A and B are shown apart, each in its own frame.
Chain A
């Protein structure tokens, strides 16, 4: 059958995964249409450092989208009460809406998952009520793609200290960020506790790399565009590579409405709405294959929105798996007050970590990495991280900030979550977005084992920062809630059984030979690490496979 295709492949979402997939397919000489709902942003156009409206503190909105207006969701709280929420409000679970996705403003921690992160169910057994599952691929399958991501997108770390746990083939292309006073304190503490440390790998140019400058060590990295374009996001690495082929077109400010299927159920392309200056315009294109890389919440939504007579519950959803197992990361954080200045003005701030507690913790399922934190913006420190007994007004409140801002630091890290099938996204039956499409409804909470692990990690963080010299520590105790947000994952998980997963091990949606998912949605579990390097590595692997499988 000679279908008249406009493109070989449509990729939805120009974030960490979509840009990588597009680059792999376009570099194989195939025609790609890459569609992004957000706009292009960089420091020149969007370099305003608004400390109240950014991806780290969204008091009144986000700098990297989506807009406060026109993009609502419904969040169902633990008591079952639904709330209409805007992107910056609690429960929304926002990541970003921009070219590059979250990577245009991220903190850029570049962790590989550990071998045991791919086999959590085998290693620990499946806790009752959880949907814990192994990945259908192991670490060794992904290792060469991690290497490719590290060298071609650009990671800085100390190879001599980070080799062994990952059986690395080689070190890193750039040296680690400078180790400051907090790192020195952490080394002392780690020595006292008998735990090994390593450097926190970052997708940041510590030296000029790939034709761009080095980091200028500003005091506000995470949450913002980079003043020297040294933060290696998708927008300045894989996306330019895709566009340089001449085979990839990028549409921005364009929202995909549905994946189109023909009367036999075969995927034929997508229908989308371009937000043009003269108003919205609906358009459809045909393609041999479609890849969804819109992030774990919006990718699931798109599959659900693409329902038809043959797929009344949405594409790939014959077994009610799409949208379930939503995960992110709990972030237990131990703050410590030191007797002297511990503040290092040189950003980004993250320098040193330990993976001593990712696995093998007695009676605990999994664990997580611990690291120091990005430099805290003063207002973030005020709003989120003061000790609870500090006055909220008056001379005492002011004096606390003056005396202690430079003496306070934190040790924190992402906890590997134990997935629950009830933590999920669905289409809301009533609320529509600005184009009239049903919005997401988020409900459920994580599995209790996640909270138990988070409490355990909170205690480990507290012990480490105390051993590092903190004279007082504090932090909020983890409680059961729904995760998602910037590390969202799990909603279209890979597997070997179509009844318990949404895609095969290549991200190919069960029942559709030309429909793929590639983003955090695929992760059956999300590691005890920031997931972006895994998302990139998996996208490079799957992108090559998709390119080779295109007729």
Chain B
């Protein structure tokens, strides 16, 4: 298992809080999106964990140099200014995407408590069994293990850049 320390969780939450901040509607932390992100970073999205933890370290270093404090201790405006400077970095993009995923997906994924984000945007699920449908037998899908007979480098960078989209999502 990949352990994330309590300190790392604390620092991660401070960033997630600014990715989808509270305003007149709940933000990511109120809907439990941080739990979704942590769970994904220990499972299906573990490939991003190392980068994100390194990014958090770099963010704290920048906060100290600029403002003399750790990121989590800054006022929101200074937090957002710092994040604005690193918003194109892959670790931050990955974290922002995971946060949006949890926040806007169905509540059974763990990041959209009470389907409150759907109330905010006006999406209606209209399902008799609630926003996540029937629990049924949908087993938790876990990240797969690459085929051991694979003769090509598994970390080939081209693998990620999406040269070809899957054909259709249209039906």
Chain A residues close to B by CB (< 8 Å):
43-53, 56-57, 59-61, 63, 67-70, 72, 75, 77-79, 81-84, 86, 90-94, 102, 106-109, 216-220, 222, 224, 227, 328-331, 341, 343, 345-347, 377-379, 381-383, 392-395, 397-399, 401-402, 405-406, 412-414, 430-432, 445, 481-488, 530, 532
Contacts and interface: CB of A to CB of B under 8 A. Distances in A.
Given A50-B106, A94-B166, A530-B171, A398 B20 contact: yes
Interface stretch (B3-11, B51-59, B65-73, B117-125): B117-125
Given A56-B169, A218-B127, A530-B171, 19 more contacts: A46-B136, A47-B136, A49-B127, A50-B138, A51-B106, A52-B105, A68-B143, A72-B147, A78-B164, A83-B159, A92-B166, A218-B125, A330-B168, A378-B105, A392-B97, A393-B18, A430-B149, A432-B147, A481-B163
Which residue of B20, B99, B134, B135 has the most chain A CB atoms within 10 A of its CB atom? B134
A46 B133 CA distance: 9
A389 to B, nearest CB: 13
A109 B169 CA distance: 13
A49 B106 contact: yes
A379 B105 contact: yes
B133 A107 contact: no
B104 interface: yes
B167 interface: yes
Contacts of B50: none
B151 A431 contact: yes
Interface SS of B by simple majority: loop
Contacts of A109: 171
A34 B165 CA distance: 32
A91 B164 contact: yes
Interface residues of B, number: 68
B85 interface: no
Contacts of A69: 144-145
A48 B133 contact: yes
A286 to B, nearest CB: 32
B168 A329 contact: yes
Interface of B: 18-21, 23, 25, 27, 44, 80, 83, 87, 92-93, 96-97, 99-101, 104-106, 108-109, 117-118, 120-129, 131-138, 141-147, 149-152, 154, 156, 158-159, 162-171
A327 to B, nearest CB: 9
Contacts of A93: 166-167
Interface SS of A by simple majority: loop
25 contacts: A48-B108, A50-B138, A52-B105, A63-B138, A68-B144, A81-B156, A90-B165, A92-B166, A219-B127, A220-B125, A227-B128, A347-B126, A377-B123, A378-B118, A379-B105, A392-B87, A394-B21, A399-B23, A401-B121, A402-B121, A481-B163, A486-B167, A486-B170, A487-B167, A487-B171
